[in-house]
Amino acid sequence: MISLVNLGVALLIGVVVWRLCLWFLRAMAAAPGQPDPESVVEAYQDYRCTLCGTELTVRMASVSETSPPRHCREEMVAVWRPETSG
Ligand SMILES: [Zn+2]
């Protein structure tokens, strides 16, 4: 036989779990803020993913973030390319 106390505790736990799920989803869905324009500098660096071969060029880089970008859950390696002028 289910008592009213058990029912109340079950409902309370359910509400708490529901609230936590909503809070977590909202935190995950929140868009990150705009970067500070003074903490971003121009850059020109190519990176390659060693797992799948994807390459990208970084044109602007944050001065506070010095680690290379990640792809396939691995850090990409910097690719040096001589300037192709003319
Ligand atoms: Zn990759």
**Residue 62, token pair as written in the block:** 């944050």
Residues 68/78, Cβ–Cβ less than 8 Å? yes
- Report if residue 55 sits inside a domain: yes
How many Å lie between the centroid of ligand 1 and the Cα of residue 84? 26
What stretches in the chain show pLDDT beneath 70? 84-86
In Å, how far are 16, 37, 47, 54, 57 from 73, measured between CA atoms? 34, 28, 14, 13, 18
45 CA from centroid of ligand 1 (Å): 17
Domain contains 85? no
Which residues span the domain enclosing 1? 1-30
C-alpha 43 to ligand 1 mean position (Å): 22
pLDDT in tens, 55-69: 999 999 999 888 999
- Structurally, the chain folds into a number of domains equal to 2
| Domain-located, residue 84 | no
Identify whether residues 75 and 43 lie together within a single domain. Answer: yes
The pLDDT of residue 65: 84
- Report how far ligand 1's centroid is from the alpha carbon of 60 (Å): 21
Q: Are residues 15 and 48 in the same domain?
A: no
Alpha carbon distance 31, 52 (integer Å): 28
Its pTM surpasses 0.85? no
Task: Indicate whether 14 belongs to any domain.
Answer: yes
